C-alpha cells in the first residue's frame, strides 16, 4: 500500500506549455547521485509513481518529479516520472521545477533574474530565470551536451517506410519529418502518431545508435514528429510521443536539444541563432546552440511554467482501485 491510514502526500502541480508536471517530495532516496537515486526509485517507488500518475488522481499524459538532494555543488535535484516509469531527462519539468523553487522561496530571488543549478539523471543543468515583480516570467536551462548518432535510418511502419534521425538531448529521440507523409502534427492524427512511435521504438530496441556510455541513459525514449512552419527551417511544429504512447503537450525540452544537435550537424543553424519550437497545445520554446565542445552541442531552451494546483492525496483503505488505472 502506498499510504497508510491518515497519511497524506502533497503535490504542487504546474504546466509548461500545456504539459503537466506534478512536484512531490517523497522523502529520502538512496544513492550518491541523482542518477543513482533514479535507479533506487525504479526499484522502490514504482507503486508511488503509479499512484500519482494513474486515474482518478492523474491520467495517461501525467508527468512529474520527485524532489531530491542535488549532487555536490548543486541547488536541488529531481527524479522524473511518467506513465511507464522514470525518465532520464525532462526539459518542461526542469522549467517547472525551477519556477516552483523560486515561487516557494527554496531559491532566493531578488531583482530581474536568478540563477540556480539543478541536477537531473542525465547530468547537471544551469538555469537562469527571468523575473518581473518578484514572479518568474520564464526559465532558460542550459542542457547537457547533445549529439546526433544517426541520420536517414530507414524503418518500416504502418504508414510506409520512413527515414528517422536519432540524437541525444538528455535522452535518445528518433526524429521524423512528416512534411511529406500522409500524417501531420495534429490532434486528429494522434492515434496514428502514437502507433508509428511504438513501431519505431520496437524497431530500435537495443539499437547501437541509442547506446550511451552509461547504459542507464541508453535506448530510444520517444519519437519527435516535426514539420516546418512556412518555409523557415528554424521554426518547427512538433509533437513528441514517448514512454507508453504518452503525448507531450509541450514542445519537449530535451527533445528540442536533440533537434538542435541534428540541425547543427546539417548546417541549418549557427551558434546563437534562435530556433522556435512549437508544441501541439500551442506553447513555444525558444532555443539556441550556445557552443560546441568535444562532447557535443551545448544548447539552451527557454519556456514558461504556471502553477495551477496544490493537492493533498489520500488513500482510502476500502478503495478497491487503490493505485488507480489508465484509460485512453
Residues identified as active-site: 90
The x, y and z cell numbers of residue 204, run together, are: 530500435
Q: Where are the alpha helices (DSSP H) in 160-294?
A: 190-203, 253-265
CA quadruple 298, 179, 162, 221: dihedral positive or negative?
Answer: positive
- Rounded CA separation 11/278 (Å): 28
Angle at 223 between CA 165 and CA 179, to 5 degrees: 70
Residues ≥6 apart with Cβ < 8 Å to 293? 145
**What's the farthest any 2 CA atoms get from each other in the chain?**
60
Q: What is the dihedral of CA 250, 253, 254, 256, to 10 degrees?
A: 90
Q: Where are the alpha helices (DSSP H) in the chain?
A: 34-44, 46-53, 91-103, 190-203, 253-265
Residues ≥6 apart with Cβ < 8 Å to 152? 163, 164, 165
- Rounded CA separation 172/29 (Å): 26
Amino acid at each position: 500500500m502506498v499510504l497508510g491510514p491518515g497519511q497524506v502526500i502533497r503535490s504542487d502541480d504546474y504546466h509548461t506549455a500545456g504539459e503537466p508536471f506534478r512536484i512531490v517530495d517523497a522523502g529520502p532516496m538512496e544513492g550518491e547521485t541523482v542518477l543513482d537515486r533514479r535507479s533506487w526509485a525504479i526499484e522502490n517507488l514504482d507503486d508511488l509513481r503509479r499512484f500519482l500518475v494513474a486515474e482518478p488522481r492523474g491520467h495517461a499524459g501525467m508527468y512529474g518529479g520527485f524532489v531530491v538532494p542535488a549532487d555536490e555543488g548543486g541547488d536541488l535535484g529531481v527524479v522524473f516520472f511518467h506513465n511507464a516509469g522514470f525518465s532520464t531527462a525532462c526539459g518542461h519539468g526542469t522549467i517547472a521545477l525551477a519556477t516552483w523553487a523560486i515561487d516557494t522561496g527554496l531559491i532566493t530571488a531578488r531583482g530581474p533574474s536568478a540563477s540556480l543549478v539543478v541536477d537531473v539523471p542525465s547530468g547537471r543543468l544551469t538555469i537562469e530565470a527571468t523575473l518581473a515583480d518578484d514572479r518568474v516570467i520564464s526559465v532558460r536551462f542550459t542542457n547537457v551536451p547533445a549529439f546526433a548518432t544517426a541520420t536517414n535510418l530507414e524503418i518500416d511502419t504502418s504508414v510506409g517506410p520512413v527515414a528517422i534521425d536519432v540524437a541525444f538531448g538528455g535522452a535518445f529521440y528518433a526524429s521524423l519529418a512528416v512534411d511529406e507523409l500522409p500524417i501531420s502534427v495534429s490532434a486528429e492524427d494522434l492515434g496514428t502518431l502514437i502507433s508509428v512511435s511504438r513501431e519505431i521504438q520496437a524497431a530500435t530496441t537495443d539499437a547501437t545508435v541509442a547506446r550511451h556510455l552509461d547504459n542507464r541513459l541508453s535506448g530510444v525514449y520517444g519519437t519527435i514528429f516535426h514539420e516546418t512552419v512556412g518555409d523557415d527551417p528554424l521554426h518547427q511544429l512538433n509533437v513528441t510521443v514517448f514512454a507508453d504512447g504518452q503525448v507531450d503537450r509541450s514542445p519537449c525540452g530535451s527533445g528540442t536539444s536533440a533537434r538542435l544537435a541534428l540541425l547543427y550537424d546539417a548546417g541549418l543553424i549557427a551558434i546563437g541563432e534562435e530556433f522556435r519550437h512549437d508544441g501541439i497545445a500551442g506553447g513555444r520554446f525558444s532555443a539556441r546552440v550556445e557552443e560546441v565542445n568535444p562532447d557535443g552541442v551545448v544548447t539552451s531552451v527557454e519556456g514558461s511554467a504556471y502553477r495551477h494546483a496544490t493537492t493533498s492525496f489520500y488513500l482510502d483503505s476500502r478503495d478497491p482501485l487503490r493505485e488507480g488505472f489508465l484509460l485512453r
